[in-house]
């Protein structure tokens, strides 16, 4: 095996490994984004109900309290413009 062939083989191995890692990271990030979107949708549906305190919405949806409060403010602002 020549030195050039050895370098080519190592290059291809590195490229393949990099592509695999990139794909795995992309899938993981996509799943995390999807899970976050689902939490937000759950919280929004709970806010429509109007009877639940924001701390319970945060706890049941899996969002942190600050994010749940942001969603509540967004909803209130949206309702004022209607």
pLDDT at 51: 86
What is the per-residue pLDDT for 46? 96
23-55 pLDDT tens trace? 999 999 999 999 999 999 999 999 998 889 999
Residue 8: its pLDDT value, please?
85
Domain that holds residue 19: 3-80
CA distance 21 to 28: 11
The whole-model pTM stands at: 0.73
Q: What's the pLDDT score for residue 32?
A: 95
Q: What is the pLDDT of residue 82?
A: 73
Structure tokens at 52: 């639940």
Q: Structurally, how many domains does the chain consist of?
A: 1
């Amino acid at each position: 095996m020549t030195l050039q062939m050895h370098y080519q083989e190592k290059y291809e191995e590195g490229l393949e490994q990099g592509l695999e890692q990139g794909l795995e990271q992309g899938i993981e990030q996509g799943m995390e984004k999807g899970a976050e979107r689902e939490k937000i949708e759950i919280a929004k549906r709970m806010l429509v109900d109007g009877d639940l305190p924001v701390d319970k919405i945060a706890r049941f949806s899996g969002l942190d309290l600050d994010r749940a409060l942001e969603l509540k403010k967004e909803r209130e602002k949206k309702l004022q413009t209607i």
